[in-house]
Structure 1
């Protein structure tokens, strides 16, 4: 197997952040799946391919052979049915079951899954325990770690669990954080000439400035409104969220981030095409991955696989 030229599939593909990362280390996507229409529109504009729809309706036979399965899968609670139903039933009806089914049928050498940090704590740890055991039972050596986008060069605090598995017991290590000098700052990613439509109304601005925790915080900053309503400025963005309110993060308490800035906060390149509305793109970037984190993981995975060639 030549690991400088490998095939992967992109499940729950979103707008293709994981795909970008694995293409950067020599991968070729042979199949993608995503059910959200607006996300598919962005994906098609950037990869010239419309993902197949709902993965629950696609049989493994209709998926071409591949070397690595990639999925940023939604976290759903598992119904713990108990031993009488048998082990497989634990995951049925969840989207993780689709990953398990495809791994079982196709037996690729490796996979990488991405999920929210809370997956580890979900249902007092039982959800993750089931996922881990099921991947293990499929014959994979499983590694997992919570990685923060801030450590990999983008000014966004975004902690995500990365789960990596290999059929062979390869010498895999998660990537080390970048040095301070290698990271992008807010100034590096902010646009200078921003249209007035991104600026918030005077009342919103005044209301935010009244509640700000550190009035002398150096600009540029991104402030975040928490559930209690207090406003905290940081030299980085809090995690982009798909369902957040429009003014949940503001730059210098003056304006919303532009579409390009939202993509840059996730480490997407500037030639990434924007073909949907602002609210759709905000939703898409909130659901996406921080590309540099996945790139760093992809590099380590391929290095580990190459070492056993």
Structure 2
């Protein structure tokens, strides 16, 4: 089944869909480092390093078998309404708070409207649900419905599907096949019952990487922390955060964030967001996670190598949809919306 991956990033959606038997006809992003990552890992999948606002659908039709297009997937940039950053209004007339990056959501909708795939999947941050008191998400849904799609959305925690990380993201799913929209049932829970498995701890994903650092080709190089920060890290208990109210004067500073939280081995990791270029603190070592450790927690396979400097690699990992969940969702769409019998495929570029 043929799909187009918009705002593909490091390929979190792409990898899961491909492992579920889909064919990626085209990937698009507007980032030079993403381009390098894509061409290294997926050299036979066409990639455009372009602004989506400048793409005409006729160009896409020339690259893919348009009549066979099954789906469009992707996650437009979320900076404009991330709960981590400064939330801004969706109304262009409010110039001092307007973020033009949010226009990219409308561009995604435009390509869905013009290409008319059988289904679409759009991923975004939790903050989209409450932005403008819910006006923004309701507007998105109405626009998709106006394109001829049955649409619904759901806030999903990746930990509920076996990903060793608590990561909440919104998935908007639609189809023009008159099929009811549904999402895969959870397989894991923080309080397991009714046959669900317990959440997966993060330790099994990264424990074999201890004492094997300093491998730049494998994205496994620790940050060079200052001695002062290392002393702070020593005070953070496993699964806890820095005791800011009990620090000696020489270690005090303002504005400690998620980078001063330590992971617990038996629990899912915190959301992999590389704030200030650093992931959370390793469960047993006095340093932040490496890019490879974060990628493991994001369920990227080890053969995926991230290009760019360490900060650029970290942002590619942190912005991605975990491939493990992508595969689960891709299978669900195939069986419940496209009504295709599930066949297991493995592709190698």
2:247 — aligned with what? Answer: none
- Structure 1 segments, 4+ long, off by >6 Å, are 224-227
Mapped to 2, the partners of 1:58 and 1:232 lie a distance apart of 42
* Worse-matched range after superposition: 129-138 or 226-235: 226-235
Residue by residue over 1:281-307, the C-alpha shift from the partner in whole angstroms, topping out at 9 and shown as x without a partner, is: 111112111222222211111111343
Give the one of 301, 311, 314 matched to 1:282: 314
Mapped to 2, the partners of 1:260 and 1:102 lie a distance apart of 34
* Worse-matched range after superposition: 232-241 or 19-28: 232-241
Mapped to 2, the partners of 1:18 and 1:144 lie a distance apart of 17
How big is the shift at 1:267?
Answer: 1.1
1:84 — aligned with what? Answer: none
Query: Secondary structure at 1:195's aligned position in 2?
Result: coil
How big is the shift at 1:276?
Answer: 3.0
Structure 1 residues 250, 134: CA separation in 2 closer, same or farther (over 3 Å shift)? same
* Worse-matched range after superposition: 106-115 or 255-264: 255-264
Mapped to 2, the partners of 1:301 and 1:224 lie a distance apart of 42
How big is the shift at 1:232?
Answer: 4.2
How big is the shift at 1:209?
Answer: 3.9
Normalising by structure 1, what TM-score? 0.83
1:133 — aligned with what? Answer: 142
Mapped to 1, the partners of 2:167 and 2:295 lie a distance apart of 14
Paired residue total? 287
Correspondence 1:79 to 2:79: no
Contact 2:26 2:47 (C-alpha < 8 Å) held by counterparts: yes
How big is the shift at 1:172?
Answer: 3.9
Mapped to 2, the partners of 1:303 and 1:109 lie a distance apart of 13
Gaps of 5+ in 2: 81-88, 94-99, 190-196, 215-220, 245-253, 342-349
Could you say what the CA RMSD is over the residues aligned between the two structures, in angstroms?
2.8
Contact 2:162 2:199 (C-alpha < 8 Å) held by counterparts: yes
How big is the shift at 1:79?
Answer: 2.4
Query: Secondary structure at 1:268's aligned position in 2?
Result: coil
Correspondence 1:246 to 2:277: yes
How big is the shift at 1:33?
Answer: 0.9
1:85 — aligned with what? Answer: none
Mapped to 2, the partners of 1:150 and 1:93 lie a distance apart of 28
Superposed, which structure 2 residues align to 1:101-120 within 5 Å? 101-120=110-129
1:195 — aligned with what? Answer: 213
Gaps of 5+ in 1: 1-5, 82-90
Normalising by structure 2, what TM-score? 0.74
Mapped to 2, the partners of 1:308 and 1:187 lie a distance apart of 36
